[in-house]
Amino acid sequence: MSDKRLFDYLYDQLRDYPLENAFGSKVDGQWQYFSTAQVVDLGNQLSLGLLRLGLRPGDKVASVVYKTSPEWVILDFALLQLGILHVPMYPTISPREYEYILRESESKYCFVGDGDLYDKVAQIQAKLPELKEIIALTDRPGVRKWDALLAQGDLSEIEQIKAGIHPDDICTLIYTSGTTGDPKGVMLTHRNIAFNVESISKLVPVSRGDRVLSFLPVSHIFERAAIYFFILCGVNVSFTGTDNLGGDEGDLKAIQPHFFTCVPRLLEKVYERIYNKGLELSGIKRALFFWALQLTDHWDFDQQYGFWKGLQWKIAHQLIFSKWREALGGHVKGIITGASACPVKIMRVFNAAGIPIREGYGMTEAAPGVSFSRYEPHAAMLGTVGVVLDGITLRIEPTPESKPGEGEILVNGPGVMMGYYKHPDKTNEVIHEIDGQRWLATGDIGTMVEGKAGYRFLKITDRKKELLKTSLGKYIAPSPIESLYKEHRLVEQVMVVGENLKFVSALIVPSIDGLKEWCHKHGLAWTNLTEMIQNPRVIHRYQMLVDRINPFFSHAEQVKKFALLPDTWEAVKTDGTDAELTPTLKLKRRVILEKYREEIEAMYGG
């Protein structure tokens, strides 16, 4: 087991493989990079400045940014080596949630990025006596900037503090987004995160000097751990945002990354753009596009083809899929997707096109990795979340509602959190002592699936707390049903309903692009989504989709009625209402049930 502290990775890079372009971002439209040596030097200067502010080991400092930047990395490094707990917050949460997190964590300072983040924190600052100052990571008139803290001097105090930091010391509080209630501060140690970093580094096709694009929120442990992984691997990291990725002028084309992490929703949007471009083609080009796309319907990992089928795939790659790879920069060796379930169709299409995507599974409380679909032969399986990481042990604990072979996933290993900050009662709800060991109850229902070459794969079947029980006593797992609907291009979002009700129904948010294309194809003039979902022909088309999907499930699981909704569910609302999604894009089922109570009651006859 590694005894690394997270700040050790940067010093190791400086010693073994210093980079000229270690971390970069766009400034006034131009890419600017910091070298490894600059990051270390500025980190030490900032550490001195933080000490002169009066901060000491064990204190808490918060941050919130829309886009990660080299400056954020420098701040993180400076905090880590001083033993100050970093509290990164999601940029999309409400001022009320900022107030809750900053108060509970007793953060003394908060570093903010650009946009409205300063204003959101400033409006609740007066309610937080512990919060001494809000400091800007970018230029903002009248607000002290991070580099004003940089100080020169003797580093002996920093060295003394570093020497006293143990791998099992808590280094960060990461507040979970949560689907219900207030967020909980997950206490993670250096060892928790370092275990994940080093486990993944042995499994991912990344080499020193490769180019990596980072655009996920670093407030999430998934991308936070990825940053340390990038440092360990000695790659050049370019930070951007999801709004700057695609197109001929996008950052994917500019950086031509070898690797990046993403969430499934991004892949879905890329697929939608590709599909829509195919619809714009005509003649032989259109026919070839959809012929190649149809080929992917039967693709699987490690599949072997005969001469004729192999020739077909060679033609498809040369004429169609090569353009897909070019749209992602043309050099991608690997992509990891996580944070939520990736539809099998998306995994199949991109991998078939020669874009190697692997799915990982975990949670903040596991720092975050539990299992990972690997890149070597026979080590990935569609419909699963991969092989359990070396060093982690799983228990599949049967529940009264679970099917034979299924149960709640319990995790034991070096990544399991210390607990929830200031909430030992909530910690005891998820950390169970069994045979003298600490087991994390994930709340996910899963099973193990046998594969080839001795590999066993973890398959997630549902969330324990999201299982529905109809008034007839039947337990329903909504996630598999929702996943199948979301694979269809007419569906943007969907939520299954049925708790304590006599049958299963669904709330469906149509895909505007998908529905527009269908209307155009069938001679139906488009007006707006609110009007279109009341059109009998549109309703009939969605009924056809329901009728097609229902046979994949048991009678009790089949959707009997549905309601089409004109509102896209979002992770942040500007009108002050509760968001329907968490910052990691999970459904807030309670919020959605309350918001669409009338529509639900109408489906059940009041």
Condensed to tens digits (0 to 9), the pLDDT of residues 62-78 reads: 999 999 999 999 999 99
Q: What are phi and psi of 208, to 5 degrees?
A: -55, 135
CA-to-CA separations, 248 to 239, 278, 329, in angstroms, rounded: 18, 17, 10
pLDDT at 385 over 60: yes
Q: What confidence score (pLDDT) does residue 243 get? A: 81
Query: Which percentage of the chain shows pLDDT scores above 70?
Result: 98
Beta strands in 240-379 (DSSP E): 259-262, 334-337, 357-362, 369-372
CB 23 within 8 A of CB 70: yes
User: Does 508 fall in a domain?
Assistant: yes
Give the gyration radius of the chain's Cα atoms. 25
- d(CA 583, CA 218) in angstroms, rounded, equals 12
What does the pLDDT average to over 295-323?
A: 93
Q: Is the peptide bond before 264 cis (omega within 30 degrees of 0)?
A: no
User: Is residue 387 assigned to a domain?
Assistant: no
CA distance 59 to 74: 18
Q: Is the pLDDT of residue 141 over 60?
A: yes
Residue 293 has pLDDT above 70, yes or no: yes
Distance CA 489, CA 486 (A): 7
- The closest of 118, 82, 68, 77 to 98, measured between CA atoms, is 118
Give pairs for 448-454: CB < 8 Å, separation 24+: 448/394, 448/396, 448/405, 449/381, 449/384, 451/378, 451/381, 452/302, 452/378, 453/377, 453/378, 453/379
Domain CATH code at residue 513: 3.30.300.30
Quick check: 264 pLDDT over 90?
Answer: no
Nearest Cα residue to 9 out of 85, 73, 87 = 73
Domain boundary among 246, 262, 278: 262
Dihedral angle computed from the Cα positions of residues 197, 198, 201 and 202, in that order, rounded to the nearest 10 degrees: -150
- Domain annotation covers residue 159: yes
235: number of Cβ within 10 Å: 24
541 contact partners, CB below 8 Å, separation of at least 6 = 490, 518
Position 214 in a domain = yes
Reference 512, options 527, 537, 525, 529; nearest CA is 529
Please give the pLDDT value at position 273. Answer: 86
Measured between alpha carbons, how far is 277 from 289 in angstroms, rounded to an integer? 10
Decide if pLDDT at 473 tops 80.
no
Q: What is the pLDDT of residues 153-208, one digit of tens each?
A: 999 999 999 999 999 999 999 998 655 567 899 999 999 999 999 999 999 999 99
> At 85, which CATH number?
3.40.50.12780
431 by DSSP, 3-state: which?
strand
Q: Is pLDDT above 80 for 474? A: no
What's the pLDDT score for residue 576? 67
Predicted pLDDT at 342: 87
Residue-range definition of the domain harbouring residue 134? 8-165+204-262
CB 349 within 8 A of CB 271: yes
Looking at the DSSP bridge assignments, the partners of residue 109 are 61, 133
pLDDT recorded at residue 477:
80
Residue 305 maps to a domain: no
Q: Is 359 exposed, middle or buried (0-12, 13-18, 19+ CB in 10 A)?
A: buried
Alpha helices in 91-189 (DSSP H): 95-105, 117-122, 156-163
Please write the tens of the pLDDT for every residue from 491-524: 999 999 988 888 899 999 999 999 999 999 999 9
pLDDT at position 519 is 93
- Residue 76 phi, psi (nearest 5): -60, -45
**Boundary (domain end) residue, out of 235, 262, 289:** 262
| Residues 418-444, mean pLDDT to the nearest whole number | 94
Cβ(298)–Cβ(382) below 8 Å: no
Has residue 414 been placed in a domain? no
What tokens does 384 get? 């699963």
Q: Which of 212, 239, 262 is the last residue of a domain?
A: 262
More confident residue, 585 or 414: 414
Number of domains in the chain: 2
Q: At what angle do helices 221-233 and 8-16 cross, to 10 degrees?
A: 30
For residue 57, the tally of other CB atoms under 10 A from its CB is 12
3-state secondary structure 487-508: CCCCEEEEEEECCCCCCEEEEE
pLDDT in tens, 31-54: 999 999 999 999 999 999 999 999
Closest by CA to 235, choosing from 259, 263, 217, 261, is 259
The one-letter amino acid code at 526 reads: W
Helices marked H in 411-477 — which ranges?
424-430
